[in-house]
Every structure is written in structure tokens, then in C-alpha cells.
């Protein structure tokens, strides 16, 4: 099947095309299975900013570090966030200094910790795209229903469609077709993408994460590019329904409202995030803890912003593999396995000309 899909792509492609996979999980899978090397050379894959760990703003990482350093706080987070460099140190260094920083698999686990530790403030680092939003929303809704006053969330939610707008609207844009993130669409549906495809004249294919899914997404995108079709098609129908997951969307809109959001390395993208609604403001960790005057300082060497915008590849960074490694990351894109730098480090040996 995989071979057949590649043959089909080879047969269809007649000229150079630049296609962006928006999601870091897809970047990782392309590298892991060596799919990028199996594709015809006409196809240039550009890696998108869809790595939640990578785009969480430095300011919020610094706020997380400040909150986690409080004596009475149990700070909970997905594991990857612990190594993301803040202006000074990371969440691991808070833990080393005696802070109670715990890795959880989901916010429901954090909620349970709050119930079991009534004398502590439990904070969850609510990062991620549309995919993590429903669970985060549920944890706040449940905490509210139970009148739990020791649970709160540091919210750093980002949304994919405004990011695609920002990329396609940039004067430096090179992207001609998109693989949309299958799991984001499993939640949100595909309607938001149609106006984007029309406005910018770019085909979008909703794509999954397994090797064959990725190749089918590429094939569908190339077919549309070759025919000059600018539509949204679903190459992942076994998981994605056109309308998304209505129940999950209900939770999201109950707890969250759209807001402007800073993306690390990229800057502010208007209405690209979610924050907690007014009714839930007391569950907002930024509101509960006083973490206003934070001065941020970004690494001077790191070019992860250009990488997240698809304008540079990791091996073009002078620090790549020399002073910046997953053990000693200078930028967030080297931390998460979904970050382009980390994926190239792990799988892309030949791509940096070695």
C-alpha cells in the first residue's frame, strides 16, 4: 500500500510543489519513517508551527516557572514542557530547587490531585491546540461544578486556522498546499478551512498521522495542485467527520472564548488563542497568582521562529547539533519530539549534509 501510494504520487507530480504539514506530530512521523526521502524530489515539505510545546510563549513559560516556584503550589504539566527553556532555567530547575512540579498525562489527573490535596493550590499548564482544549475545558467545568477552589489553569491555547492565515498572508510565504492536522479537525470539523482555501487559492487536505495516511494526504494535495483545485478534502475520513466532534466543541465553547495570542518565535497572531470565559476567571492561574511584571529574554542564537514559519530548516541554524541538542536545548523546537529541530536531530542525519 505504501509503495502504491508513492508510485501514485510519482505519476501525478509534474512540477515542484511546496507543501506544509501544519502539525508537528506529522513532521515527526515523516522523519521517523523516512517518508520525506521516499517522496519525489519535486515535493518540498515545509514544516509548520503545529507543535504546542514549541509555540507556547516565553512569557507564559516564565509565568509557569514563577507560579511553580510558590511554596504552596503543586504545578502539573505534560512532560515535554518541563525542559522548555524560559528566560532563566526551566520547570525542571524549579523541581531541582525543591518545587513540587509533577508530570501528568491529562488535566483530569491534575483535577484529582487537587481533590486529594485540599491544602495546596494545584495548577495545570493548559497548553495545546484544539485537540487538548476539550479535556482542559472539562477539568475547569468540573472544578467549577464542585466548587473546587484549589484548582486553576495557566492557559496557553492556540488555534490552527489563524496560524494558517498568518503563514499564507505573509509576503515571504512559499507554501502552495497544506496538510491540515487530522486530530484538530476530528474535534473542530473542516468548515473553518474552506474560506482559507478559497481566499489564498491553496488546496488543503485533512491528513492523519500514520505513514499511509500521510502519503494519502500528500497524494490528494498534489492531485488538487496539478488540477488547480483549491478545495478542502478529507484524506482521513475514518477519524474526521465534516462537522467534527460536537460534544467536544460544546465543552470548548462553554469554557473558552477566542483571544489574541503570542506564539513563541512568531509573535502575536490576532484571535489565534482561547482563554477562559469570565465565568471561569477564578480558575485562571494568571488571575489567581500575581505574575504580571515578567521580563522575558530569548536566546540570541536560536532561529526557531524562522523554522516555525517554514522559512528555514533546522540544519541552517549554526547551533544545530553543535551547542543545541535535545539534552541541552536552546529553543523549544529542540525539546518536544514534535519540534522540527528535535525531529531532524533524531532522524534527519543526512539532511544536514553530513
Partner 1 sequence: MCLGIPGKIIKIYEIEHTKMGRIDFSGVKLDVCLEAIPEAEVDDYVIVHAGFAISRLSEDEANETLSLLKEIEDINLRDNN
Window 257-296: contact mask with ligand SF4 (x via CB under 6 A): ----------------------------------------
* Choices 211-219, 286-294, 301-309, 311-319; region in contact with partner 1 by CB under 8 A: 211-219
Q: Give which of 195, 203, 208, 189 is closest to 165, Cα–Cα.
A: 195
Check binding of 54 to ligand SF4 (CB under 6 A): no
Q: Binding to partner 1 by residue 284, rule CB under 8 A?
A: no
Among residues 11, 16, 146, 297, the one that binds partner 1 under rule CB under 8 A: 146
**DSSP class of 333:** G
Strands 267-276 and 256-263 come out as antiparallel
304 binds ligand SF4 (CB under 6 A): yes
Burial classification of residue 69, based on how many CB atoms lie within 10 Å of its CB (0-12 exposed, 13-18 middle, 19 or more buried): middle
Planar angle of CA 76, 29, 165, nearest 5 degrees: 75
Q: Is 301 in the site for ligand SF4 (CB under 6 A)?
A: yes
Verify binding: residue 147, partner 1, rule CB under 8 A. Answer: no
Write out the three cell numbers for 331.
529553543
* Minimum distance, C-beta of residue 331 to ligand SF4, in the bound complex (Å): 3
| CB of 28 vs partner 1, minimal distance in Å | 8
Bridge partners (DSSP) of residue 320 are: 324
Shortest CB 335 distance to partner 1, Å:
13
Q: Does 181 engage in binding with partner 1 (CB under 8 A)? A: yes
Q: Does 283 participate in binding partner 1 (rule CB under 8 A)?
A: no
Using CA atoms, how far apart are residues 321 and 299, in angstroms rounded to an integer? 16
100 binds partner 1 (CB under 8 A): no
Instruction: By CB under 8 A, name the one of 45, 73, 111, 202 that touches partner 1.
Output: 111
Is residue 186 close enough to count as binding partner 1 by CB under 8 A?
yes
Residue 13 or 334: the one with the smaller Cβ distance to ligand SF4 is 334
339 exposed, middle or buried (CB, 10 Å; 0-12, 13-18, 19+)? buried
Q: What is the 3-state secondary structure (H, E, C) of 170-187?
A: CCCCCCCEEEEEHHHHHH
CA distances for 180 relative to 73, 274, 330, angstroms? 38, 19, 28
CA distance 126 to 153: 6
304 makes contact, choosing from ligand SF4, partner 1, none, with CB < 5 to 8 Å by partner type, with: ligand SF4
Instruction: Write down how long the chain is.
Output: 354
**Is the Cβ of residue 138 or residue 269 nearer to partner 1 in the bound state?**
138
Q: Which stretch binds partner 1 (CB under 8 A): 19-27, 278-286, 303-311, 343-351?
A: 19-27
Cell 523549544, residue located:
332
Question: Which ranges of 69-154 does DSSP label H, i.e. alpha helix?
Answer: 91-96, 107-116, 133-146
Number of residues interacting with partner 1: please give it, by CB under 8 A.
44
Residue 349 binding ligand SF4, by CB under 6 A = no
* Residue 317 binds ligand SF4, judged by CB under 6 A: yes
Return the DSSP state at 99: -
How far apart (Å, rounded) are the C-alpha atoms in residues 227 and 22?
A: 22
Residue 111 binds what, of ligand SF4, partner 1, none (CB under 5 to 8 Å, by partner type)?
Answer: partner 1
Q: Grid coordinates standing for 130?
A: 484544539
Of the pair 4, 349, the CB lying nearest ligand SF4 is at 349
Nearer to ligand SF4, 271 or 301 (CB): 301
319 belongs to the binding site for ligand SF4 (CB under 6 A):
yes
Cell of 193: 478551512
- In order of 14, 177, 273, the CA distances from 200 in angstroms are 22, 10, 22
Please report, as ranges, the residues that interact with partner 1 according to CB under 8 A. Answer: 1-2, 23, 25-26, 33, 52, 78, 105-106, 108-109, 111-112, 115, 128, 131-132, 134-135, 138, 142, 145-146, 181-183, 186-187, 208-213, 238-241, 245, 247-248, 251, 338
Please report, as ranges, the residues that interact with ligand SF4 according to CB under 6 A. Answer: 301-304, 307, 314, 317, 319-320, 324, 329-331, 333-334, 341
Amino acid at each position: 500500500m505504501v509503495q502504491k501510494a508513492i508510485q501514485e504520487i510519482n505519476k501525478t507530480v509534474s512540477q515542484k510543489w511546496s507543501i506544509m504539514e501544519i502539525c508537528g506530530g506529522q513532521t515527526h512521523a515523516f522523519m521517523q519513517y523516512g517518508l520525506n526521502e521516499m517522496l519525489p524530489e519535486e515535493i518540498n515539505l515545509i514544516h509548520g508551527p503545529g507543535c504546542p510545546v514549541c509555540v507556547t510563549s516565553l512569557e507564559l513559560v516564565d509565568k509557569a516557572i514563577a507560579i511553580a516556584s510558590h511554596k504552596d503550589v503543586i504545578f502539573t504539566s505534560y512532560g515535554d514542557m518541563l525542559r522548555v527553556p524560559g528566560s532563566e532555567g526551566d520547570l525542571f530547575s524549579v523541581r531541582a530547587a525543591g518545587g513540587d512540579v509533577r508530570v501528568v498525562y491529562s488535566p483530569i489527573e491534575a483535577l484529582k490531585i487537587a481533590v486529594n490535596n485540599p491544602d495546596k493550590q494545584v495548577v495545570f499548564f493548559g497548553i495545546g491546540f484544539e485537540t487538548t482544549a476539550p479535556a482542559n475545558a472539562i477539568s475547569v467545568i468540573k472544578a467549577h461544578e464542585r466548587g473546587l477552589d484549589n484548582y486553576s489553569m495557566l492557559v496557553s491555547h492556540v488555534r490552527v486556522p489563524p496560524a494558517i492565515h498568518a503563514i499564507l498572508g505573509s509576503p515571504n510565504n512559499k507554501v502552495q498546499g497544506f496538510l491540515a492536522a487530522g486530530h484538530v479537525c476530528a474535534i473542530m470539523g473542516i468548515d473553518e478551512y474552506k474560506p482559507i482555501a478559497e481566499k489564498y487559492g491553496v488546496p488543503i487536505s485533512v491528513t492523519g498521522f500514520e505513514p499511509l495516511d500521510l502519503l494519502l494526504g500528500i497524494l490528494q494535495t498534489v492531485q488538487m495542485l496539478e488540477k488547480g483545485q483549491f478545495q478542502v478534502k478529507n484524506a482521513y475520513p475514518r477519524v474526521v467527520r465534516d462537522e467534527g466532534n460536537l460534544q467536544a466543541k460544546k465543552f470548548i465553547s462553554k469554557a473558552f472564548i477566542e483571544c489574541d495570542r503570542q506564539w513563541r518565535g512568531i509573535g502575536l497572531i490576532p484571535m489565534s488563542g482561547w482563554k477562559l470565559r469570565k465565568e471561569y476567571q477564578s480558575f485562571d492561574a494568571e488571575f489567581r497568582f500575581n505574575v504580571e511584571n515578567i521580563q522575558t529574554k530569548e536566546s540570541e542564537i536560536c532561529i526557531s521562529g524562522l523554522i516555525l514559519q517554514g522559512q528555514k530548516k533546522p540544519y541552517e541554524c549554526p547551533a544545530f547539533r553543535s551547542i543545541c541538542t535535545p539534552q541541552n536545548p536552546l529553543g523549544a523546537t529542540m525539546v518536544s519530539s514534535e519540534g522540527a529541530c528535535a525531529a531532524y536531530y533524531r532522524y534527519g542525519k543526512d539532511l544536514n549534509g553530513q
